[in-house]
Structure 1
Amino acid sequence: MPTFADHVIASLEASGVSRLYGLPGDSLNGLTDGIRRDGVDWVHVRHEESAVFAAAAEAGLTGELNVCVGSCGPGNLHLINGLFDAQCSRVPVLAIAAQIPGSEIGSGYFQETRPQELFAECSVYAEVVTSPESGPRILEMAMRAAVERRGVAVVVVPGEIFLAKTGRDLPPTVVRPTRTVVRPDDEPLNEAAELLNDAQRVTILAGAGAAGAHDDLVRLAEILKAPVVHALRGKEYVEYDNPYDVGLTGLLGFASGYKAIEEADTLLMLGTDFPYRQFYPRDAKVIQLDIRGEQIGRRTHVDLPLVGSVRDTLPALLPLLTIKTHRDHFDQALAHYARTRKSLDALAVNDHERTPIHPQFVARTIDRLADRDAVFTVDVGSPVVWAARYLTFNGHRRLLGSFNHGTTARAP
């Protein structure tokens, strides 16, 4: 008869998980012994925070569920900063948090904490396994929540339950992401098309939610003669092979992106929750499309809210649009971007008469030497500015960092 640990390992394997990141502890003995016998790889780290950062990075690159593990008390408490980061980055991470013996909970036992309460604020699901019989169902719900809601799920397991028999030979749980088409109804789409067709100066602000919609986004900009401003997390999906891109706005951005938005009479927000309210236009009409309807209108007033994915919505919107012929707004934005780009590039030079060398030159050199499919990681602060301004992307390169939570040493 398999143990609950055996079921956990088999279910993770069946769901495509190939490794667990963690640090051993006696409350995890049942799980690590199950891995020793058969199962996924154990990636040993020196600190549990590194485990969750690594799991979140892999989840961000692949879109697949990844797993980190912490022993009871201080062990899983070390996960909390990384779990906040993963939750803010909206990547599917399962945290297995070992607990003290179940019979001792509530007694002030050695290393006693309440992980399900501590992690409630940084997760989409957090629950305690109270018996080996209830464990498989809780595991399945946690995995499904992490995958479908793209966030952190926490399963708290008293150490002895890992070693306990499940009571019956259960098949492994298989949890894979589903593929669902999500777009607005025809009526709001027609309303959006009417607003865009009537507008004289449209600017597009696109973020990470534009992933998978690159070609349709460029076609949209072409039809509307709209400059495209990208948020930092949208850089890798929006900027490359895009003659309508005019750079970033915000604290990391530069003047051309700011001006393209400020001078628009209509702002079309696509898959972005860009947080800095002072960089939004004062008088423009705003259309916001986001897969998470609760985010719409959080940053600026919105005249037309649209709930859906950018990838699914643009193919339905494009046929409703009228091709614009006037392009003064775009030409002015592009000229401004060219001037701004020239001034930024002038800083990325190797001036041998000055030391230390310019960090902009270092970033540009790294960009030039990096592989076509390189993954760039950046720490918080000035490195993010250099990455935003000097790294270039091509549809294969990736960018990782703590761009929402803002924790240092996030780069795995």
Structure 2
Amino acid sequence: MAKNVAEIMVDTLVSAGAKRCWGIVGDTINHFTDAIRLSDLRWMHVRHEEAGALAAGAEAFATGELAVCAGTCGPGSLHFVNGIFESHRNGAPLLLVASDVARAEAGLGFPQAVDQRKVYEQASVFCEYISHPDQARRITAMAAQAALNKGGVAVVIVNGDMFEQTVDDTLAWGVHRPAPVIRPAEAELEALAQALNDAGTVTLYAGIGARHSAPQVVELAKVLNAPVVHSSRAKEYLEPNNPFNVGMTGILGNRAGVEATDRADIMLCLGTDFAWTQFYPEGKHVIQIDRDAAHIGRRSPVRMGLVGDVGDTIEALLPKIAEKRDTKHLDKALERWKKDCESYAASAESDDPALIHPQTLTQMLDRMADDDAIFTGDGGSPMAWLLRHITANGQRKLLTSLMHGTMANAYPQAMGMAAAYPERQVIAMCGDGGMTMLMGDLLTLVQEQLPVKLLVFNNGALGFVEMEQRVEGLLDTFTELQNPDFSRLAEACGMPGWRVDSLDQLDDAMRQWLAASGPALLDVRVNRVELVMPPKIEASQVASTAMFGLKAVLDGRSKEVVSLLRDNFIK
């Protein structure tokens, strides 16, 4: 039976497991969206394509299943770019249908014509045109297969007139999802076991590549009496049910994590591609296991590099290693982690009952939110508060922009989460800068009935940028934000909103906000003068912050300097 290209593509996507397609309808994709209308694929109508790509990417990342977005030629497809980069760097199995002008106009400088391949091939695992109607099912299936198996974005480029072309659809091209066992060669496993047996102390450093292998990581830690440090992206997976957990390393990490890696004879990296080289010990102390050989040794020199899935490799390794009975290394790390947690709790304390620290706000949210709540956090300071103050308990899901570092990711990603998990509480921790960057899709929450709870950390500034400027000894410049009353804005968009200006209002407002049906917004005025303190404060950072203080005093801003010192250094 003859079908048109649009129908074939939609049928292939549904067969590959896709449930939703995010985008804005128009000209070159009208036949594609009409095919969606007649299918089981749900069209999610956003107000900006970037929000659509962020939502689709979050859906795909959280579920591990294919999500889809589609855009018109030229501006429509290009608006997806930032969300596509974010989703690709997260390893989300997302497929973008990027349309182009009609074939008769291609290559002739026609209005809105764009070389989509040049744009998207740098942020995709697959990027191809459908050049003939016979290729419709084959190319779409290969794109979906690449996205699902390689972990990233696949792009299918289609000229607008191609969607209308009919063809006898006879070959059953489909998507395959093999599950291979990947582990090092036997000789490499023997060498790894020997190195671990000879080492006095071992620290495990696990990343997102270990997210499906947490039980094996814990078992290895038990045998080695090794503390487990995790990357920021792996918090959701490695913290829960892990008595060996000592937190994170990196600028957003804690002292226990940093010291446990610095002090160990071997830092065994498990499925991590953590980028910041200054947080690695000398290469002679580093052994790395990763599924991708191209990742071995690219962040730090390594003593030994092995290719393997974390879980498969640990299972093959465990019979070869001897139990370590000395617990001093582990005990020291756990004691330091206990102090780090106490320090996080203390950071929420305030002598001023009117002042709301973002840490206070986040800790209250952590207590009140559901045990299986889903949290997203804007790149910037909300990301730091999420990672430090939201409890990972094995049921919750956490997502923030750690690889791409974009603004305005939180509530678009929460839209995708709410679509995928309609029965769960989904909370977006938004900066006021992020919220105002993609504010139009508040309307999508109402129109598509996505019950996202929006929490706005309203400090009237690009707070993380201010912190960066201050730590560099600069006056904070061009960071001021003149914001609306976000609660009234929410109400104008069709959802309830609350505004909180002092601490005594917060408890009641948060309870009402979380209990609201459908989408709702809580606008909280938080302290502007906050630093995200690193696990270790270097002398250069103190000197630079002191330089900011001197400049601020000379600029007539003495109160800010006093507040900065009181809330971040004197406690």
TM-score (norm 1): 0.97
Aligned to 2:484: none
> After superposition, what is the alpha-carbon deviation per residue over 1:90-121, rounded to whole angstroms, capped at 9, x for unaligned?
11111000110011111110101010111111
Aligned to 1:37: 38
1:332-411 equivalences in 2 (<5 Å): 332-349=332-349, 351=350, 353-411=352-410
Q: Equivalents in 1 of 2:246, 2:215: separation in Å?
A: 17
Aligned to 1:79: 80
Structure 2 residue matching 1:127: 3-state secondary structure: strand
Which structure has more RCO (C-alpha within 8 Å, separation ≥ 6)? 1
Q: Equivalents in 2 of 1:373, 1:94: separation in Å?
A: 28
Q: Equivalents in 2 of 1:361, 1:284: separation in Å?
A: 42
1:96-245 equivalences in 2 (<5 Å): 96-166=97-167, 168-170=168-170, 173-245=173-245
Q: Equivalents in 2 of 1:266, 1:290: separation in Å?
A: 16
Q: Equivalents in 1 of 2:371, 2:178: separation in Å?
A: 30
Structure 2 residue matching 1:119: 3-state secondary structure: helix
Moved over 6 A (4+): none
Q: CA contact under 8 A between 1:11 and 1:172: conserved in structure 2?
A: no
Q: CA contact under 8 A between 1:267 and 1:284: conserved in structure 2?
A: no
Q: Which stretch of structure 1 is more off in the superposition, 338-347 or 103-112?
A: 338-347
Q: Which stretch of structure 1 is more off in the superposition, 351-360 or 36-45?
A: 351-360
Q: Equivalents in 1 of 2:173, 2:381: separation in Å?
A: 44
Q: Equivalents in 2 of 1:36, 1:241: separation in Å?
A: 44
Structure 1 residue matching 2:56: 3-state secondary structure: helix
After TM superposition, give the deviation of residue 394 of structure 1 in Å: 1.8
Structure 2 residue matching 1:148: 3-state secondary structure: helix
Q: CA contact under 8 A between 1:289 and 1:308: conserved in structure 2?
A: yes
After TM superposition, give the deviation of residue 284 of structure 1 in Å: 4.7
Q: CA contact under 8 A between 1:22 and 1:48: conserved in structure 2?
A: yes
Q: Which runs of 5+ in 2 are unaligned?
A: 413-571
Q: Equivalents in 1 of 2:336, 2:37: separation in Å?
A: 60
Q: Equivalents in 1 of 2:172, 2:21: separation in Å?
A: 17
Q: Which stretch of structure 1 is more off in the superposition, 229-238 or 33-42?
A: 33-42
Q: Equivalents in 1 of 2:145, 2:283: separation in Å?
A: 42
Equivalent AA in structure 2 for residue 113 of structure 1 = V
Which of these two proteins has the greater Rg computed from alpha carbons?
2
After TM superposition, give the deviation of residue 262 of structure 1 in Å: 0.7
Q: Which stretch of structure 1 is more off in the superposition, 337-346 or 44-53?
A: 337-346
Structure 1 residue matching 2:128: 3-state secondary structure: strand
TM-score (norm 2): 0.70
After TM superposition, give the deviation of residue 388 of structure 1 in Å: 1.2
> After superposition, what is the alpha-carbon deviation per residue over 1:267-320, rounded to whole angstroms, capped at 9, x for unaligned?
100011111100111365211011111001011111111111112111111111
Q: Equivalents in 2 of 1:83, 1:337: separation in Å?
A: 37
| 1:294 to 1:189, Cα distance in 2 relative to 1, 3 A | same
After TM superposition, give the deviation of residue 176 of structure 1 in Å: 4.6
Q: CA contact under 8 A between 2:106 and 2:113: conserved in structure 1?
A: yes
After TM superposition, give the deviation of residue 173 of structure 1 in Å: 4.2
> After superposition, what is the alpha-carbon deviation per residue over 1:139-158, rounded to whole angstroms, capped at 9, x for unaligned?
22211211111111111101
Aligned alpha-carbon RMSD (Å): 1.4
> After superposition, what is the alpha-carbon deviation per residue over 1:14-63, rounded to whole angstroms, capped at 9, x for unaligned?
11111111100110111111122334111111011111111100111111
Equivalent AA in structure 2 for residue 395 of structure 1 = G
Q: CA contact under 8 A between 1:252 and 1:384: conserved in structure 2?
A: no
Q: Equivalents in 2 of 1:346, 1:176: separation in Å?
A: 51
Structure 1 residue matching 2:315: 3-state secondary structure: helix
Equivalent AA in structure 1 for residue 258 of structure 2 = Y
After TM superposition, give the deviation of residue 352 of structure 1 in Å: 6.7
Q: Equivalents in 1 of 2:104, 2:348: separation in Å?
A: 62
Q: Which stretch of structure 1 is more off in the superposition, 136-145 or 268-277?
A: 136-145
> After superposition, what is the alpha-carbon deviation per residue over 1:49-92, rounded to whole angstroms, capped at 9, x for unaligned?
11111110011111111111010000000111111111111111
After TM superposition, give the deviation of residue 353 of structure 1 in Å: 2.6
Aligned to 2:487: none
> After superposition, what is the alpha-carbon deviation per residue over 1:180-211, rounded to whole angstroms, capped at 9, x for unaligned?
11111111111111111111111111111111
Structure 1 residue matching 2:219: 3-state secondary structure: helix
Structure 2 residue matching 1:392: 3-state secondary structure: coil
| 1:33 to 1:391, Cα distance in 2 relative to 1, 3 A | same
Structure 2 residue matching 1:278: 3-state secondary structure: helix
Q: Which stretch of structure 1 is more off in the superposition, 352-361 or 27-36?
A: 352-361
Q: CA contact under 8 A between 1:265 and 1:283: conserved in structure 2?
A: no
Q: Equivalents in 2 of 1:278, 1:239: separation in Å?
A: 23
Q: Equivalents in 1 of 2:175, 2:120: separation in Å?
A: 22
Equivalent AA in structure 1 for residue 371 of structure 2 = R
